[in-house]
């Protein structure tokens, strides 16, 4: 029976009932001595003789009195009046977090603010040897001043803090459990797996419950929903919740990793202490990454932490479908997973070219890891049956060849996009302790895609990766077919952009003034649909640099792409060339090296490393890099040209000539042309080689802008200044993307010069001004 208004409990006067629960009633009261409002929690008369209820009531008083923290409701007094037991606490004006959430997600700043406050209160409790055991929204109060207060320590468990062990071997303070061993303690929806199984709670149990609470704050949904206790327990013990960012696009991807770690099934896999959680949450509030947190532990009692995973290679998925013509699907899905895992953050991810070189390989995992310089390998298989797909993945530690993580995903093909994200989140939540933490950026929500659209897109990328003119045209057809099925599919527009770009740059003979506007329009449309698509930013940046000659905007595009996907090798690759052309050579070399780390077996990227060293006038480094590329593929003519140019710049003309001549042969120039250039070298030395190379180049010129630039370089190197300028102006008139080499050197043309002997010419300065490059 509720107490009447005006009832006196010692110096306190009851004014009105605020609320009631199973273990007590809470009243608004007045402290008549100090003239302040208080909250009075009363143990109902029916429980006064119940030893369990009495123990819980007194326990709450002892626990709260031991805590002095701004985010814990302050205890003022405890007493008994005419057989009525009561606790007096500060009066809080506001509402419970449960009432605030309702069924709506909270603004993410509020999730962070209140989450850190609750965590801070929990940290103080744990430091005092107190385990709450019932963290949930109903036990958290938010005041009108937006201060979170942790309530109801009635189920709290007191344990001696690590510093309180007694040297004399005497017993430390303990409290008898309220229930028998094996009986769960807490509220079902927020229980940790160990609590759900009736095992003793530990500080890690509170972290799990806090994770479930933060999940509900961020999404408006319970992490483990269900209509029965059995269904909820099944989820707690065996299911992984949908990542919060999938339910609420305003939630950063990195927050998913924090929640994933809190909701680990194994207590040891969660944060070691609350302070680590607070640091992880501060990352988002500060918008800057924090260094890894050091964990204090006794070496004798704590097993050594496994080595960190700093780099991953995604090997080609095995296609288990009997149709051998379906390789494009497995290859495309592999590429999509590479992109998705790269967005995981905190790890270097090997790019497609290097990964795909291991298709159908018999090499062992340790050998592949050694060749790619990675410390984790993701391998798997894909099986399609009708409109369903089964993807099986294994993350392997090459040092032990043991499984770090393994899972099978069964999906409808229309859910293919969310599958990529599910895989990366599953990896992240399973191996978070071994991956350097990064803050994630918010992403647009996934939308279903028709299987036919995705299938056509994968076919398009399959042809696009071949880089020949006929295959680039086939790729465009496939991307356009994907858009027929799904006109809002951004990656297909990015694919169209990339295909037209290469056709207009140098991998086809399409007029740049026709190809590049098409490429730009497609890239802009892709970004209009999905501004978080790193590849689309690269697509637009490439056109802005090579066609618009808007170097500032192009740099901004590549910076944005790398912010979205730090391991994207193509972004580092092209960005390095742009930087070098703007005479920022040191930065150019750094990005070329970053591209190589992400794609160590790519011939073009290995080659661009040599080119960037050449542009920086670091000839020894250029020679070493080019020789490495030649060793990878002796038939790669561009690397032979780079090596020859660097050797010539060092004065090693005999070796340079041999590389130039080999470049002609492997480049499939006619036998007559190669013989003529060799004879010229034998008769007149390196200058004769260049003169004959120039003559042969002019002879076979057919109006292609890329060839025009090579002729201009040979003209400049052989002293034909006016002729060189004529050819350069012709390149500008054609809007040739090859002018990206004006300030970087022209090893493509098999000559070691940088147009430096033209720099004093007003016409050359006019060319640089025309393409907006520094003098």
Pairing of strands 402-412, 388-397: antiparallel
Which residues have a Cβ under 8 Å from the Cβ of 32 and sit 6 or more positions away? 11, 12, 13
> Which is nearest to 380 in space by CA: 441, 442, 328, 318?
318
Which ranges in 106-202 belong to alpha helices (H)?
Answer: 108-127, 193-196
Number of Cβ atoms within 10 Å of the Cβ of 83: 7
> Which is nearest to 518 in space by CA: 531, 499, 546, 542?
499
Residue 707 in 3-state DSSP?
helix
Contact between 90 and 38 under an 8 Å Cβ cutoff? The reply is yes
Residue 100 in 3-state DSSP?
helix
The DSSP symbol for 326 reads: G
Contact between 93 and 143 under an 8 Å Cβ cutoff? The reply is yes
Separation CA 774–CA 574 (nearest Å): 18
Distances (CA, A) of 716 to 704, 737, 748: 19, 19, 14
Separation CA 561–CA 550 (nearest Å): 17
Number of Cβ atoms within 10 Å of the Cβ of 732: 16
Separation CA 588–CA 613 (nearest Å): 9
Tell me the β-bridge partners of 380.
Answer: 393
> Which is nearest to 365 in space by CA: 338, 320, 395?
395
What is the per-residue DSSP string for 320-385? -SS-GGGHHHHHHHHHHHHHHHHTT-SSEE--HHHHHTTTT----HHHHHHHHT-S-EEEEEEEEE
Q: What is the CA radius of gyration of the chain?
A: 34
Question: By CB neighbour count within 10 A (0-12 exposed, 13-18 middle, 19+ buried), where does 751 fall?
Answer: buried
Residue 120 in 3-state DSSP?
helix
> Which is nearest to 189 in space by CA: 153, 142, 241, 261?
241
- Counting Cα atoms < 13 Å in the Cβ hemisphere of 740 gives 27
- Counting Cα atoms < 13 Å in the Cβ hemisphere of 670 gives 8
Catalytic residue from among 37, 93, 99, 134: 134
Separation CA 338–CA 332 (nearest Å): 10
Separation CA 163–CA 285 (nearest Å): 32
Tell me the β-bridge partners of 314.
Answer: 378
Separation CA 229–CA 225 (nearest Å): 10
**Dihedral sign, CA of 117, 120, 126, 127?**
negative
Separation CA 124–CA 67 (nearest Å): 7
> Which is nearest to 191 in space by CA: 215, 159, 175, 213?
213
Separation CA 317–CA 394 (nearest Å): 11
Residue 640 in 3-state DSSP?
helix
Separation CA 57–CA 601 (nearest Å): 67
Contact between 676 and 669 under an 8 Å Cβ cutoff? The reply is no
H or E element, residue 333? helix 327-342
Catalytic-residue membership of 134:
yes
Active site (catalytic) residues = 134
């Amino acid at each position: 029976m509720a107490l009447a208004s005006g009832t006196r409990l010692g110096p306190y006067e009851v004014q009105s009932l605020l609320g009631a629960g199973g273990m007590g009633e809470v009243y608004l009261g007045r402290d008549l001595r100090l003239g302040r409002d208080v909250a009075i929690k009363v143990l109902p008369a029916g429980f006064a003789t119940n030893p369990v209820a009495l123990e819980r009531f007194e326990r709450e008083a002892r626990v709260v009195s031991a805590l002095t923290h701004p985010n814990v409701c302050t205890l003022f007094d405890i007493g008994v009046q005419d057989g009525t037991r009561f606790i007096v606490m500060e009066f809080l004006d506001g509402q419970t977090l449960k009432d605030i959430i309702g069924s709506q997600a909270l603004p993410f700043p509020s999730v962070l603010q209140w989450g850190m406050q609750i965590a801070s209160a929990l940290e103080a409790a744990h430091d005092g040897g107190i385990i709450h055991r019932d963290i949930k929204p109903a036990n958290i109060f938010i005041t009108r001043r937006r201060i979170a207060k942790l309530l109801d320590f009635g189920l709290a468990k007191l344990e001696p803090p690590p510093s309180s062990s007694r040297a004399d071997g005497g017993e430390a303070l303990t409290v008898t459990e309220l229930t028998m061993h094996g009986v769960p303690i807490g509220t079902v929806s927020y229980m940790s797996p160990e609590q759900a199984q009736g095992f003793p709670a530990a500080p890690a149990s509170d972290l799990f419950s806090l994770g479930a609470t933060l999940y509900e704050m961020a999404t408006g949904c319970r992490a483990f929903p269900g209509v029965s206790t059995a269904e909820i327990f099944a989820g707690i013990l065996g299911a992984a919740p949908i990542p919060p960012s999938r339910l609420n696009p305003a939630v950063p991807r990195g927050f998913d990793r924090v929640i994933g770690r809190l909701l680990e099934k194994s207590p040891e896999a969660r944060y070691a202490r609350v302070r680590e959680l607070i640091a992880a949450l501060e990352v988002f509030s500060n918008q800057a990454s924090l260094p890894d947190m050091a964990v204090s532990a006794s070496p004798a009692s704590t097993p050594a932490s496994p080595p960190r995973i700093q780099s991953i290679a995604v090997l080609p998925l095995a296609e288990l479908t009997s149709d051998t013509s379906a390789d494009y699907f497995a290859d495309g899905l592999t590429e999509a997973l590479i992109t998705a895992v790269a967005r995981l953050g905190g790890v270097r991810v090997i790019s497609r070219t290097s990964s795909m070189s291991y298709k159908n390989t018999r090499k062992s995992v340790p050998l592949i890891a050694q060749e790619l310089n990675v410390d984790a390998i993701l391998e798997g298989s894909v099986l399609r049956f009708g409109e369903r797909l089964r993807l099986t993945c294994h993350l392997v530690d090459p040092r032990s060849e043991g499984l770090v993580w393994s899972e099978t995903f069964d999906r409808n093909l229309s859910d293919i996009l969310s599958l990529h994200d599910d895989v990366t989140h599953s990896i992240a939540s399973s191996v978070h302790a071994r991956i350097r933490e990064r803050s994630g950026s918010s992403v647009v929500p996934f939308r279903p895609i028709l299987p036919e659209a995705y299938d056509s897109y994968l076919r398009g990328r399959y042809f696009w990766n071949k880089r020949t003119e006929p295959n680039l045209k086939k790729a465009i057809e496939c991307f356009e077919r994907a858009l027929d099925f799904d006109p809002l599919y951004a990656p297909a527009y990015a694919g169209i952009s990339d295909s037209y770009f290469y056709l207009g740059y140098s991998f086809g003979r399409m007029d740049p003034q026709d190809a590049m506007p098409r490429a730009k329009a497609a890239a802009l449309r892709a970004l209009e649909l999905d501004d978080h698509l790193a590849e689309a930013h690269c697509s637009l940046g490439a056109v802005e640099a090579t066609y618009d000659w808007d170097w500032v905007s192009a740099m901004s595009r590549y910076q944005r792409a790398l912010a979205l996907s730090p391991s994207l090798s193509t972004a580092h690759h092209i960005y390095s060339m742009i930087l070098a052309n703007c005479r920022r050579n040191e930065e150019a070399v750094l990005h070329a090296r970053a591209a190589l780390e992400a794609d160590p077996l790519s011939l073009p990227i290995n080659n661009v490393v040599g080119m960037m060293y050449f542009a920086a006038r670091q000839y020894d480094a250029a020679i070493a890099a080019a020789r490495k590329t030649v060793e990878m593929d002796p038939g790669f003519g561009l690397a032979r040209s780079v090596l020859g140019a660097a050797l010539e710049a060092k004065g090693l003309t005999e070796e340079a000539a041999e590389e130039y001549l080999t470049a002609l042969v492997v480049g499939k120039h006619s036998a007559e042309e190669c013989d003529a250039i060799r004879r010229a070298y034998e008769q007149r030395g390196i200058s004769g080689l260049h003169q004959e190379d120039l003559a042969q180049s002019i002879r076979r010129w057919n109006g292609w802008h890329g060839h025009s630039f090579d002729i201009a370089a040979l003209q400049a190197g052989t002293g034909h200044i006016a002729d060189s300028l004529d050819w350069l102006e012709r390149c500008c008139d054609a809007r040739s993307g090859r002018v990206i080499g004006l300030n970087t050197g022209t090893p493509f043309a098999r000559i070691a010069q940088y147009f430096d002997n033209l720099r004093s010419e007003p016409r050359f300065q006019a060319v640089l001004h025309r393409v907006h490059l520094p003098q």
